[in-house]
Amino acid sequence: MSVEYALEGPVAWLTINRPEARNALNKEVREGLAAGMQRFNDDERAAVLVVTGAGDRAFSAGGDLKEMADQSTRVPPIDYIPQPGRTLDVAKPIIAAVNGVAYAGGFLLSQNCDLVVAAEHARFAITEVKVGRGAPWAVPLPWLMPPRVAMEILLTGDPIDAHRAYTLGLVNRVVPQDQLRAVTQKLAEGIAANAPLSVAAAKRTVYLAAAQERTRAYDEAEKLWEPVYLSDDALEGPRAFQERRTPQWTGE
């Protein structure tokens, strides 16, 4: 299988398994990613999704250029690669565990995850200008980093390393390759232990702030969080604190 779905406790791992092709995004991989993300949506056991690539060379080098050449691909549809938050609604958190190069479509995948943990040797690039392709999906980039840096990345197509990506805020954590899986799993488990309604609302709040002007974002956030305040979990948290025990979340 070109994309594998595996559950480790409350964490689902979605792995692109084409290491011989630097995990390039051919049709089978793209369909596997979309199916895997939908499976995660439907999986009540899974609270957090991790997207990664097989091997230690590439998270994904991007679209399969040989396939594009064979098929004379012109303007790809917006769902050509699944884009959480744009073409696919995923309420639960997604973490990218970047185990090597994340170029072009691989950059798209990591950009559209909510958090990014990168191996020290990881590299990020939007290489489309070097092959005459396009990157309309890069619209959120000036929100994720300073606009002039986003401009440089888009105009040059040159990669940045994991440590620079961290200083720019594109990456949350940089770790040695042999610790990538364990650190990411621990981060995901920490999120999964929190109240699920609060986690989902927190994720949406961040994107509200990016998509709308401040006053309207506040208004929308108030509506978004009201069901959280009214939930059973909102009472369970203080009770558990008072009784010095671990909260038992129901998501209701």
Amino acid at 35: A
- Alpha-carbon distance of 184 to 11, in angstroms, equals 10
Query: What are the pLDDT digits (tens) for 120-179?
Result: 999 999 998 887 878 888 999 989 999 999 999 999 999 999 999 999 999 999 999 999
Reduced to 3 states, what is the DSSP secondary structure of residue 61? coil
**Residue recorded with tokens 């401009």:** 151
pLDDT at 134 (0 to 100): 83
* Fold classified for 3-193: 2-enoyl-CoA Hydratase; Chain A, domain 1 (3.90.226)
- Alpha-carbon distance of 178 to 121, in angstroms, equals 11
Domain ranges of the chain: 3-193, 196-243
60, 133, 134, 151 from 154: Cα distances, Å? 18, 11, 10, 5
Sign of CA dihedral 98, 101, 104, 106: negative
Query: What are the pLDDT digits (tens) for 26-56?
Result: 999 999 999 999 999 999 999 999 999 999 9
Residue 70 has pLDDT above 60, yes or no: no
Give me 91's structure tokens: 């309420």
User: Crossing angle, helix 214-229 and helix 196-211, to 10 degrees?
Assistant: 170
Q: For strand 3-8 and strand 11-16, is the pairing parallel, antiparallel, or unpaired? A: antiparallel
Sign of CA dihedral 34, 63, 208, 202: positive
